[in-house]
Amino acid sequence: MDHLTFIYPELDIEPIAQNLIRTMRLDEDCQSPLAHKNLWDQTDIAVITYGNSILSDNQPPLKTLHHFLQAHFPMLINTVHILPFFPYSSDDGFAVSAYKQVDPPLGDWSDILRISADFHLMADLVINHCSAQHEWFTNYQKGKSPGRDFFVEVDPKEDLSKVVRPRVTPLLRATSTPRGTQHVWCTFGHDQIDLNFANPKVLAKIVDIIRLYLDMGVRIFRLDAVAFIWKILGTNCLNLEETHEIVRLLRTLIEHADPNAVIITETNIPNRENLSYFGNANEAHCIYNFSLPPLLVNSLVTGNCRYLKNWLMSMPPAQNGTTYFNFIASHDGIGLRPVEGLLDDSEQEALIQTMENFGGQISWRALDDGSNKPYEINISLFDALKGTTAGEDDWQLERFVCAHAIMLALEGIPAFYLHSLVGTTNDYERMKEHGHNRAINRRQWQEQELNERLADPESHHHKVFHKLRRLIKLRREQPAFHPNATQFTLHLGDHVFAFWRQSLDRRQSIFCLNNISDQPQTVSLNAINLIGTDTWKDLVSDATFDDMLASITLDPYQTLWISNRW
């Protein structure tokens, strides 16, 4: 009632509240979540993938994916984010045309249930918009329900210059209806029509979808593009208070249905705005750490971690019951909005130029003055790290592994894009075929071909795969790598990115040292204050350290995890 009163102050909210409670079946089984409870530990590792990233003959792709993960990552990966697996019309799944179905070419709900029985299943709640081919929008065009009042209509004469958008297409789409031509709001493009959450019937439909997903084994809900869901003319229509209240409402409903369920907000926006979705530990359980990918790639191609280090020092420790969702590659690209205010323009320009030199493409967004600005870099992470600002070199594999070692050690839950785990490179043919830049990093592998490459010791796919598997195994065994364990930034110059982690029980300390340059770097053990009464060992190389006054030399892109417990 409190949530709804804030969102809909002019409406009679009691029947709305009772309907939501019935839809979530909280009138039958309402559980009590514990505040500030960590629903994760150091063993939680996620993989992000499309349902059809791996294919085999005569088998639904979801079955192939399930088999591949079981075969190659037993006891290593326990969480699977399957990107939208519903029928869709565009945007590789994010223009959903039927929320309650599994896309038939992928499989069916029985495949989803089998995966959710073996892994924590993360699914997208594409909350801001639906496909122009969804029944709701076709009904809108006919003046029928449900759908007739589900979309945001705007007079094109209104001043919309303040609206923040991630695309360059026109915001409004002219649409024929029985009431004449109407103009509907489309944040992401004319095939993705924004839903009107000012109508509580829309909210009720979304809650009904959430209930189904819970029944189908979904434990983790990724709220896609949630920052855009509420519109008020004259504002930027981003991160509005009603948006945050809807997230709090969904959190309340979901966690009282399943106290082990988790909400993750996908808000590809500047860092400070992104952090606001933690609320007071009452909104998202996890937020995407969107600033990490561009800052980390920038550090590794420049050999200088100054910006990355400054950012890490500014990040607040997540309260218990919340944590960061760390990733460095995804199905989209390397976002540039999250480094606004963190990287200056010249650094961004140098990063963009370097990525273009390595085969990357640039996607753009529209500004309120009518100009365009780079929005994201589209490139596979393996190719993004094939060299430095000076050009390509022989350190690609080491640089790539170093990036993931850093991600694995940082505060938060690490998430690997499937294509990073197997060292997939830029897919220019798929990009050309699909006609959009993001397809460059959305390859579809034949399972047999991929297995052959992973089994070939000379293949870079094999080398990447086995090095990352080993690091994952090491991470899972360290209490100091709990997502909420203490973290402090260390200052060892601009070429060694270093930080300290300490387990929640304070028994284990790990000093994480990463040479992010293409030159050897020497560090004095005295500089990191190893306690002389403890015995210290590098978990990665098995080297031990007895002389606390000695110096150590890190090879280019070498990582040390120096621990007092193993």
Q: Among all residues, which ones are annotated catalytic?
A: 224
Please report, as a single letter, which amino acid is at residue 401. Answer: V
| Cα separation, 190 vs 131, whole angstroms | 9
**Amino acid at position 292, single letter:** L
* Alpha-carbon gap, residue 282 to 36, rounded angstroms: 9
Q: Please report, as a single letter, which amino acid is at residue 20.
A: L
Closest CA to 403 of 372, 427, 382, 424: 382
Please report, for residues 50, 75, 129, 131, 507, the alpha-carbon distance to residue 91 in angstroms, rounded to integers and kept in the order given: 12, 33, 12, 10, 47
The backbone torsions φ and ψ at residue 428, rounded to the nearest 5 degrees and listed phi first, read -70, -35
Which of 344, 418, 343 has the alpha carbon at shortest distance from 381?
A: 418
Beta-carbon contacts of residue 173 (< 8 Å; ≥ 6 apart): 183, 184, 186, 190, 193
With contact defined as beta carbons under 8 Å apart, do 355 and 361 qualify?
no
Residue type, 37: K
Residue 413 to residue 483: CA distance in whole angstroms: 6
| C-alpha dihedral sign at 403, 409, 413, 416 | positive
**Known binding-site residue numbers:** 91, 129, 222-224, 331-332, 438
3-state secondary structure of 344: coil
Burial code of 165-176, b = ≥16 C-beta within 10 A, e = fewer?
Answer: bbbbeebbbebe
Helix (H/G/I), strand (E/B), else coil: 261: coil
Alpha carbons within 13 angstroms on the beta-carbon side of residue 313 total 12
Rg of the Cα atoms in the chain: 24
Residues 6+ apart with CB under 8 A from 525: 545, 547, 548, 549, 550, 551, 552
Binding-site residues for substrate, in ranges, read: 91, 129, 222-224, 331-332, 438
Work out whether strand 192-194 and strand 559-563 pair parallel, antiparallel, or are unpaired: unpaired
User: How many CA within 13 A on the CB side of residue 171?
Assistant: 25
Residue 5: what are its φ and ψ, rounded to 5°?
Answer: -65, -40
Q: Are 518 and 388 in contact (CB under 8 A)?
A: yes
- Which DSSP symbol is given to 166? S
- Bridge partners for 104 per DSSP: none
Tokens, residue 309: 């280090």
Q: Supply 338's token pair.
A: 């999250």
User: Torsion angle, CA of 220/431/418/125, rounded to 10 degrees?
Assistant: 0
